[in-house]
């Protein structure tokens, strides 16, 4: 089986590709931010499934969110619609999808492109609205508050918390990877919004200790 992983060089992507390689059941195709869109099209015409992780969650330029989240997803959908390929797509969305931020709006837009593709072309779609993800290879001060707190503790740096009672929902990257692999191994029809378990709830104050 052939699977395309977009954003394969990111935090979740590295963990996912490592697990896929260890299983020995998947031939992995990779797409990263340094690759051009022509390579994306070539790979989409070869693979049996897509795990779409690529996206932008931090940028000072709003256009980067549009291009990296909504436009890239639309490009994938357009290629599959044109080629009439009904392959499975697993999408890494966010619990912030639909909120009134450029990140939330562009994640929601990406979801809508995928839902439209499923209705028009029949592609099975799994959309995971992920909470905070932690685990190996995450970056401090970038994509994980857990990594940030651990980094600061290890280096005797202060931890700044505005609201210690704020509760975080956390899932481990291994659970995310397992759910994603399961989604492309057991394909269902239509659009589904599965959740990753277990999910851990903890306050920022308690986490910082």
User: What is the tens place of the pLDDT at every residue in 164-202?
Assistant: 999 999 999 999 999 999 999 998 899 999 999 999 999
Average of per-residue pLDDT values in the chain: 95
**CB neighbour list of residue 49: distance below 8 Å, 6 or more residues apart:** 1, 2, 3, 4, 87, 88, 89, 90, 184, 187
Query: pLDDT of 82-119, one tens digit each?
Result: 999 999 999 999 999 999 999 999 999 999 999 999 99
Yes or no: say if 4 and 44 are a contact pair by the CB < 8 Å rule: yes
SS3 29: strand
The pLDDT of residue 187 is: 85
Is the predicted pLDDT of residue 209 greater than 90, yes or no? no
| Active-site residue, selected from the candidate residues 103, 128, 142, 200 | 103
Query: pLDDT of 11-66, one tens digit each?
Result: 999 999 999 999 888 999 999 999 999 999 999 999 999 999 999 998 999 999 99
Q: Residue 128 catalytic?
A: no
β-strand partners of 130: 94
**Burial class for 31, CB neighbours closer than 10 Å (0-12, 13-18, 19+):** buried
Yes or no: say if 187 and 194 are a contact pair by the CB < 8 Å rule: no
| Cβ neighbour number for residue 57 with a 10 Å cutoff | 15
SS3 75: helix
Residue showing tokens 């049996």: 48
């Amino acid at each position: 089986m052939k699977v395309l992983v977009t954003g394969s060089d990111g935090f979740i992507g590295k963990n996912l590709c490592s697990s896929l390689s260890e299983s020995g059941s998947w031939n992995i195709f990779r797409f990263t931010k340094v690759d051009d869109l022509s390579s994306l099209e070539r790979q989409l015409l070869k693979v049996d499934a897509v795990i779409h992780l690529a996206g932008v969650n931090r940028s000072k330029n709003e256009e980067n969110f549009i291009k990296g989240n909504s436009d890239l997803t639309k490009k994938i959908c357009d290629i599959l619609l044109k080629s009439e390929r009904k392959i499975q797509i697993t999408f890494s969305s966010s619990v912030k999808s639909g909120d009134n931020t450029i990140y939330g709006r562009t994640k929601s837009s990406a979801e809508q492109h995928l839902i439209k593709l499923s209705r028009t072309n029949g592609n099975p779609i799994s959309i995971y609205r992920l909470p905070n993800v932690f685990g190996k290879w995450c970056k401090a001060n970038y994509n994980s508050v857990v990594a940030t707190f651990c980094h600061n503790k290890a280096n005797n740096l202060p931890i700044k918390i505005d609201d210690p009672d704020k509760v975080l929902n956390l899932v481990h990257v291994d659970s995310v990877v397992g759910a994603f692999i399961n989604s492309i191994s057991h394909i269902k029809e239509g659009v589904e919004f599965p959740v990753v378990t277990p999910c851990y709830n903890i306050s920022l104050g308690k986490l910082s200790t």
